[in-house]
């Protein structure tokens, strides 16, 4: 069994439309195990291409010099690889041939294929990579200056959220008769009651929960830590999952995958997928289906109950007040007190 055999198998799986989500990872682990016991020859070290060496050097720079997260670096890498592949193909990247038109054409070709947030990630990745090339002296001009902007008007769209009744409906329809369902229910409660971000749920460790004082420590954006009160219903749901449903493993993460390898979630996308599935099961229709939907819903519920923007920003741990001010757009009752009478009167 070699890489060629596994690639042939995966191609047949794709053509046959069989379930294939975990197949590549499972085959990699199988190959590694067979090589450890000597049942199959060791893999020949493939020599990385010049484009791959350049990409790896850029990744190391992002990790060591910029201290970016794994998820951010992975996103940058995807866009950079696509850019180098389209411009230079499989050959060595001749960076001296890079022109401003190459950069703008790449962004224009691909920006419309993504939503506003992902399009901004594309633009940010291109600017970062081109600055790196100039910093390393690989190009003579700073081509990051020609990367076009993606239109994004502040507060042009209000935050997508659910009504309190819809949040209760989502929680009510979560199947708590299974181990996975009880895990998902605890995750949904954390999102709905505390407004945690998806990545914060992923990074939550067992030692971050202070059971005696009913507090939870969260690692937020930028590696900043914050302590939040742990509501009784959330604590009960987490405790039940930990006592009866959490698989035994060496990982310190609170929430684990239900498929091998048993470990913590890799990214916040898994948490958003749980929310999306819960919305579908509850029959709740929403324009937004990610984990942030419940965070916005918590903020809007606090606003309806009379909480100030400072209080909402403190609960959501916003770095600046501008992040909280987006909720003013949908606070129509308060906005009516600020309106001026029409100069011509009512007609």
Catalytic residues: 197, 221, 292, 295, 318, 327
Q: How far apart are CA 270 and CA 21, in angstroms?
A: 13
SS3 227: strand
Phi, psi at residue 112, to the nearest 5°?
A: -75, -10
The answer to whether the CB of 86 falls within 8 A of the CB of 108 is no
**Residue 192 CA to its chain's centroid (Å):** 18
CA dist 306 to 36, 204, 299, 300, 302, Å? Answer: 63, 30, 11, 10, 7
Phi, psi at residue 225, to the nearest 5°?
A: -100, 145
Q: How far apart are the first and last CA of the chain?
A: 82
What string of H, E and C letters represents the secondary structure of 68-137?
CCHHHHHHHHHHHHHHHHHHHCCCCCCHHHCCHHHHHHHHHHHHCCCCHHHHHHHHHHHHHHHHHHHHCC
Phi, psi at residue 252, to the nearest 5°?
A: -95, 0
Q: How far apart are CA 77 and CA 125, in angstroms?
A: 8
218 bridge partner residues? 226
Q: How far apart are CA 50 and CA 160, in angstroms?
A: 44
């Amino acid at each position: 069994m070699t890489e060629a055999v596994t690639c042939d198998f995966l191609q047949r799986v794709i053509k046959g439309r069989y379930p294939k989500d975990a197949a590549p990872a499972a085959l990699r682990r199988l190959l590694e195990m067979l090589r450890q016991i000597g049942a199959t020859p060791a893999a020949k070290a493939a020599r990385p291409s010049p484009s791959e060496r350049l990409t790896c050097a850029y990744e190391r720079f992002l990790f060591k010099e910029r201290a970016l997260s794994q998820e951010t670096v992975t996103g940058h890498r995807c866009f950079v690889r696509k850019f180098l592949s389209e411009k230079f193909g499989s050959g060595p990247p001749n960076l001296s041939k890079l022109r401003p038109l190459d950069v703008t054409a790449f962004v224009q070709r691909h920006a419309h294929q993504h939503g506003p947030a992902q399009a901004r990630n594309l633009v940010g990745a291109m600017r970062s990579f081109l600055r790196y090339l100039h910093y390393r002296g690989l190009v003579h001009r700073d081509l990051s200056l020609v990367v076009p902007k993606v239109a994004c008007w502040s507060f042009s769209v209000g935050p997508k959220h659910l009504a309190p009744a819809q949040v209760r409906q989502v929680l009510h329809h979560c199947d708590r008769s299974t181990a996975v369902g009880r895990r998902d229910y605890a995750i949904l409660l954390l999102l709905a009651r505390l407004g945690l971000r998806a990545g914060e749920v992923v990074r939550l460790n067992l030692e971050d929960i202070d059971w005696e004082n009913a507090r939870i420590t969260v690692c937020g954006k930028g590696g900043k830590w914050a302590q939040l009160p742990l509501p009784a219903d959330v604590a009960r749901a987490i405790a039940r999952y930990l006592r009866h449903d959490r698989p035994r493993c060496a990982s310190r993460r609170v929430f684990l995958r239900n498929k091998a390898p048993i470990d913590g979630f890799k990214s916040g996308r898994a948490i958003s997928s749980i929310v999306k599935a819960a919305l579908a099961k509850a029959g709740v229709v929403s324009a937004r289906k990610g984990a942030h939907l419940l965070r916005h819903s918590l903020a809007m519920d606090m606003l309806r109950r009379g909480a100030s923007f400072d209080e909402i920003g403190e609960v959501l741990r916003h770095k600046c007040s501008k992040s909280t001010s987006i909720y003013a757009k949908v606070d129509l009752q308060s906005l009516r007190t600020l309106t001026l009478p029409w100069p011509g009167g009512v007609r």
